[in-house]
Amino acid sequence: MKIRENFRSSVKSLFHNKLRSFLTMLGIIIGIFSVIMLTSIGEGIKRQVTSQVESLGANLLYVFPGKVDIGHRNGKSKLGVRSDGMGPGQNTLTYDDVLALKGRKNIAAVTGFYNAVDRLDELKIFVSTTGVDEDSFHISNLELRYGSFFTKKERLDKARVAVIGDQANKELFKGRNSLGKTFKLNGKDYKVVGVLKYKKPENMGPSGEDLNVKIYLPITEVIARQKEKNISQITVKATSAEDIKPLEKTIRQTLLKNHREVDFTVLKQQDMLNAINNILSILTAGLGGIAAISLLVGGIGIMNIMLVSVTERTREIGVRKAIGATRRDILVQFLIESVFLSIIGGLLGLAAGISGAKLLPSAFPIIHTAISIPAVIIALLFALLVGIFFGVYPATKAARLDPIEALRSE
């Protein structure tokens, strides 16, 4: 029989049992849907983080405590901790390091970060506060709704002033103009000098923190009341992207005057971006791999139904062989049925996955999705291979049936 006739016969057989065919495809549909959805979420997160980091400009350098290596193996960025045991979690930086860098050549701005947990008396809860200096707001490209950022004098005076996010202002002052008003942290009054503009979820910070609930305090004030004096990070803004390389050397030389050894790491923005993208790519691939397991389950379902179909159609196979159909004809027909189920299921799953990926951000604005074309192609190819792989055995079993024994079958 010709391929066209085999195809027509296969489709007719599948449409004869519409419900069973659909239920058989369901495993493939769910599998493709899961792969597309999860890889889209992973790709969306990757693009969002990349966009946020790049929006800060290409002239940033980050200084972290401890020794962190970012190497390249086989063209891929690799983030790791040095073998000497000095990890990124060991604080070795102080605000004196920040002060030592201020005013240096090629540095437009430099700030340190100190993350603390304080009791917010009005709401009777503990909140995360961040100690920064006047340069931080310019480096982070934060925008004010009203008021002003900290001044150098307020930083030097260790003033109890605060710049708060839009949501923090709503919870503390019911969204009213809070400029000059006070709130209590750990029983002490802090005056609001500025309120930040509302940030949409897609415009959150590079690390994913919600800027709308942030409470920024002068870093000197925060450090003064903490037992632990070391800061978590230093961010340096170069005067231009061309100054990054010489500035990297300047930072190391300057900080070494305050440190006995190189117990810190200087990373360029591209280093950070490469490391983040590498981690997110692995995460996305892992999510896609987990979802692909359901495709295998769908493939087993196809094989199971095809075996049942062979048993039910034994007499039909015998008749076809008796009138001249070859083993190859029978093999091709059942293989076409298996692949057809897999491909149609794959296309339906693809349509559902793309629709779901586009609709998900509408229901959950904080979630970002982006359709990955390679993931779509791989998923459809995988569906095709599943149909072939799990259809070979039933098709071979049907092709090997003895026509005389098959005709005797009831």
Strand partners, 125: 120
Tell me which DSSP letter residue 181 carries: -
Residue type, 363: A
State the number of CA atoms in the 13 A half-sphere of 406 facing the CB. 21
CA gap 42, 212 in Å, rounded: 24
Give the tens place of pLDDT for each residue, 276-327: 778 878 877 777 777 777 777 788 888 887 777 777 667 776 777 777 777 7
85: left (phi over 0), alpha (psi -120 to 50) or beta: left
Least confident of 50-54, 162-166, 229-233, 395-399: 50-54
pLDDT for residue 132? 93
Residue type, 178: S
CA gap 144, 196 in Å, rounded: 4
Q: How far apart are the first and last CA of the chain?
A: 25
Spell out where 201-325 has E strands.
215-218, 233-238, 264-268
Give the tens place of pLDDT for each residue, 67-108: 765 544 444 434 333 333 344 446 789 999 999 999 888 898
All residues at 6 or more sequence positions from 195 whose CB lies less than 8 Å from its CB, including other chains: 144, 145, 146, 147, 163, 164, 165, 166, 169, 178, 179
Mean pLDDT (the chain, rounded):
80
Give the tens place of pLDDT for each residue, 338-383: 888 888 888 998 999 899 888 888 877 767 788 888 888 888 888 8
CA gap 67, 90 in Å, rounded: 9
pLDDT for residue 137? 80
Residue type, 163: V
How many helices and strands (H and E) does the chain possess?
13, 12
Per-residue tokens: 123 = 């709401």
In which band, very low, low, confident or very high, does the pLDDT at 404 lie, cut at 50, 70 and 90?
low
CA gap 231, 98 in Å, rounded: 10
Contact, 167 vs 196, CB < 8 A?
no
CA gap 128, 141 in Å, rounded: 21
Q: Percent of the chain having pLDDT more than 70?
A: 83
CA gap 162, 95 in Å, rounded: 19
In which band, very low, low, confident or very high, does the pLDDT at 244 lie, cut at 50, 70 and 90?
confident
Residue type, 382: F
Is the pTM higher than 0.85? no
Give the tens place of pLDDT for each residue, 198-225: 887 655 555 556 788 889 999 999 999 9
253: left (phi over 0), alpha (psi -120 to 50) or beta: alpha
